[in-house]
Amino acid sequence: MIRPIIHDTMLLMNKAEPAGEKDMQTAFDLRDTLLAHSADCAGLAANMIGVNKSIIAFFAEGVPVVMLNPEIIAHSEESFETEEGCLSLSGVRRTKRYRRITVEYQDMMMKKRRMTFIGFTAQVIQHETDHLKGILI
């Protein structure tokens, strides 16, 4: 189900609770909402659709990917300054991102995974995991 995007910064600044099997509908809704906004959005966090759970969705090579309880466990030393926008916020803001990250997470089957991402996909994941920590760019 496509959910409305939340713009209330007080809600967006709450730290996400761990996600479990009972949160699968939220994961599906997040993916559906990402697909509905594919023209102007590269990723979403569950709090952006009003659910305070640790779930993100993003596009990797054009395919939607959903991660439950993602945690960046390593990153490159190399970082860069960039400007990012957000569907929940107006305008763009400057931020620092790492070029390469390694993420541990659970997939939609609740199976533990570990993957490394580079470039724009890594940037999007960092943005969305910031949302889970209540950090707004």
Q: How far apart are the first and last CA of the chain?
A: 27
Known catalytic residues are 128
At 46, give phi and psi (nearest 5°). Answer: -55, -35
**Which structure tokens are listed for 59?**
């596009």
Q: Spell out the residues 6+ positions from residue 107 whose beta carbon is closer than 8 angstroms to its own.
A: 66, 67, 68, 113
Q: 48 near 136, Cβ under 8 Å?
A: no
